[in-house]
């Protein structure tokens, strides 16, 4: 892989070679769709998490100004209660994106640990652990997410109230987080199955390589081998796959919110905006179309970027 070819290349650089990450980045840079998606996502994240602080309060109700058309004051117009649609979209985006990223992080942690443990243990433990994954696979996902979400919501609510009363934490902030936490848990706790399979396959492939054999012969402990030498090498593919689950999770959140089982006021999300917009479709189609468009474009970008990352990290594809 590492080539010291070309006379004009400085020796140091040639010896350094190129890492997998750098190769992947070079390949990704050539994929214009993926790069466009990356810039678009960066813009959306910047708007939602930074620019939003300078926007109008999304919960300010002004009934005299409902269904206003877009203007300098209200870039996307206002909704049925006179709230500024632009800032509602930005604040709603915070929740939607957070659910996608945090739930993915949760499932990444569970999936990697489970898959690595299963693959490294091998033999009967492995067979049993994978059978469990097979069984969980056959269970209707959304149904369990809904039930689990309802179950975990209560204790989280109680402990949120407790922190407010005992430690005097900011009530609004705590309550808002308490409302979205069950979603992270419910989606993340059930979304790790494919990740576990991918990690396991990866671990089994690595386990049989010579450098692991060398590590064993050096007398390293099993735990050290697993955590220092195996898991770090599985994280790349797992993260690439995980990037493709983000849009899926965002979609789940929107679906749950649409059914009235997701986030609740004062929180809002793109799912909520779309649901509310659908009620005024005949009189004010922009209330559905603008959030729907932002939502779909973001999912587009996430999917294209995920596809691009997968292609870029695909080690089988040649270096060029």
Q: In angstroms, what is the minimal distance from the CB of 215 to another protein?
A: 31
Query: Does the protein bind another protein through residue 254 (CB under 8 A)?
Result: yes
When the beta carbons of 186 and 198 are compared against another protein, the nearer one is 186
The whole-angstrom separation of Cα 305 and Cα 311 is 10
- Closest C-alpha to 115, from 274, 230, 245, 217: 230
Tokens of 281: 């479709």
Query: Does the protein bind another protein through residue 300 (CB under 8 A)?
Result: yes
Query: Does the protein bind another protein through residue 50 (CB under 8 A)?
Result: no
Q: How many residues bind another protein (CB under 8 A)?
A: 40
Crossing angle of helices 171-190/141-167, nearest 10°? 150
Phi then psi for 78, rounded to 5 degrees?
-125, 165
When the beta carbons of 30 and 224 are compared against another protein, the nearer one is 30
CA distances for 276 relative to 48, 92, 215, 226, 257, angstroms: 20, 12, 59, 49, 11
Phi then psi for 100, rounded to 5 degrees?
-60, -50
The whole-angstrom separation of Cα 101 and Cα 302 is 11
Of residues 219-248, which lie at the interface with another protein (CB under 8 A)?
Answer: 247
Q: In angstroms, what is the minimal distance from the CB of 54 to another protein?
A: 29
Q: In angstroms, what is the minimal distance from the CB of 139 to another protein?
A: 5
Query: Does the protein bind another protein through residue 150 (CB under 8 A)?
Result: yes
Q: Determine contact, residues 230/206, Cβ cutoff 8 Å.
A: yes
Q: Determine contact, residues 319/267, Cβ cutoff 8 Å.
A: no
When the beta carbons of 121 and 278 are compared against another protein, the nearer one is 278
Interface region with another protein, contact rule CB under 8 A, candidates 22-30, 80-88, 145-153, 216-224: 145-153
Question: Which residues of this protein are in contact with another protein, per CB under 8 A?
Answer: 134-136, 138-140, 142-144, 146-148, 150-151, 153-154, 247, 251, 254-255, 258-261, 271, 274-275, 278, 281-282, 285, 288, 292, 295-297, 299-300, 303-304
């Amino acid at each position: 892989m590492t080539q010291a070819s070309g006379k004009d290349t400085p020796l140091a650089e040639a010896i350094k070679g190129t890492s997998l990450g750098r190769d992947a980045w070079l390949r990704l840079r050539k994929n214009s769709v993926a790069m466009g998606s990356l810039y678009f996502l960066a813009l959306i994240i910047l708007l939602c998490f930074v620019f939003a602080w300078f926007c109008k309060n999304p919960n300010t109700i002004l009934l005299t100004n409902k269904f206003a058309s877009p203007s300098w004051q209200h870039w996307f117009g206002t909704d049925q209660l006179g709230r500024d649609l632009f800032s509602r979209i930005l604040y709603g985006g915070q929740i939607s994106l957070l659910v996608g990223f945090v739930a993915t992080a949760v499932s990444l942690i569970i999936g990697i640990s489970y898959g690595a443990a299963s693959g490294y243990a091998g033999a009967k433990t492995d067979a049993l652990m994978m059978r469990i994954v097979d069984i969980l696979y056959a269970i209707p996902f959304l149904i369990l997410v809904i039930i689990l979400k309802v179950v975990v919501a209560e204790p989280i609510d109680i402990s949120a109230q407790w922190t407010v009363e005992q430690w005097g934490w900011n009530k609004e902030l705590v309550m808002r987080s308490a409302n979205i936490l069950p979603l992270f848990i419910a989606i993340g706790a059930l979304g790790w199955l494919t990740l576990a399979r991918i990690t396991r396959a990866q671990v089994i492939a690595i386990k049989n390589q010579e450098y692991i054999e060398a590590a064993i012969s050096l007398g390293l402990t099993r735990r050290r081998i697993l955590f220092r030498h195996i898991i770090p090498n599985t994280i790349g593919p797992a993260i690439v796959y995980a990037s493709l689950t983000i849009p899926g999770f965002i979609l789940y959140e929107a679906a749950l919110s649409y059914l009235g089982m997701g986030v609740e006021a004062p929180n809002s999300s793109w799912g909520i905006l779309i649901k509310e917009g659908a009620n005024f479709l005949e009189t004010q189609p922009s209330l559905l179309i603008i959030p729907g468009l932002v939502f779909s474009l973001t999912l587009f970008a996430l999917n294209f970027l995920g596809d691009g990352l997968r292609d870029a990290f695909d080690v089988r594809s040649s270096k060029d």
